[in-house]
Amino acid sequence: MTSAASVRRFLAAPFRARTYRSLAYLALAFPLGLAYFVGLTVGGSLGVGLLITVVGVPILIATVAGATVVAGFEARLASRLLGVDASAPEFVRGFDARDEVALPGDGMVDSIKRLFTAPTTWTSVVLVLTKFVFGIASFVALVVTFTLGVVMLAAPFAYEGAPGWVSTAGEAGGYRVGSWTVDTLPEAVAVAFAGIVFVFVALNLLNGFAAVQARYTAALLGDGDSA
């Protein structure tokens, strides 16, 4: 990609549908990652704790199978939102292509064997656990971007002396952006301009971070590649 094309791509970030699909993907990462993590840890703990009984084994099997289903959903999400070709885990792909509800193989034992011997079963477990880490990072990145962007862009309308500005009792003077107190219109305009630059940079970085997560999903689940 030429430097001119790179600049155009950078400047187009706020106006591309891909950017907002990336933001949606990142926004979903935290609640989904939390749900996956809780489900896997609770199911795994119960299954291991109850192994001495008959109940523990089916709980463990259901938990591991559930991880592959979740990973298949993540592959579909990466494909739909970000255009990354991520394959579903082998166990999930083993279901009938016409979406008939049937266990793969010749019976329950074969299905369980297929589940536990497929490499993508265990990479699915890794994906489910690490999704929580990505979710936390995504949440922090989105909150920081939104908060700092709004604060900086609002400076010309909120600094002390701006049209419509009203003093608040006990206010410790001026509009603050971090450790910087904005007291004049030129300072406020400079902060807003810096805010615009920040938003462009942040949106491009968030696009990249979402792409990294999607490609990570594809890499763990098979031979996925960027579309």
Per-domain residue ranges of the chain: 16-226
- Joined tokens for residue 2: 């030429």
- Name which residue leads in pLDDT, 226 or 185: 185
- Name which residue leads in pLDDT, 163 or 60: 60
Q: Find, among 65, 109, 107, the residue nearest to 90 by Cα.
A: 65
**pLDDT of amino acid 95:** 60
- pLDDT tens profile 74-111: 999 999 999 999 888 988 876 644 444 445 545 677 78
**pLDDT of amino acid 161:** 58
Using the predicted structure, report yes or no on whether residue 14 has a pLDDT greater than 50: yes
Report the pLDDT averaged over residues 118-145.
94
**pLDDT of amino acid 100:** 46
Instruction: Read off the amino acid at residue 166.
Output: V
Residues 6+ apart with CB under 8 A from 212: none
Mean pLDDT of the chain: 83
Return the residue matching tokens 């990354």: 84
**pLDDT of amino acid 25:** 97
- pLDDT tens profile 150-180: 988 888 877 665 555 544 444 545 676 666 6
- pLDDT tens profile 195-223: 999 999 999 999 999 999 999 999 999 74
Using the predicted structure, report yes or no on whether residue 68 has a pLDDT greater than 70: yes
Cα–Cα distance measured from residue 106 to residue 184, given in angstroms and rounded to the nearest whole number: 76
Question: Do 59 and 50 contact (CB within 8 A), yes or no?
Answer: yes
pTM over cut 0.85: no
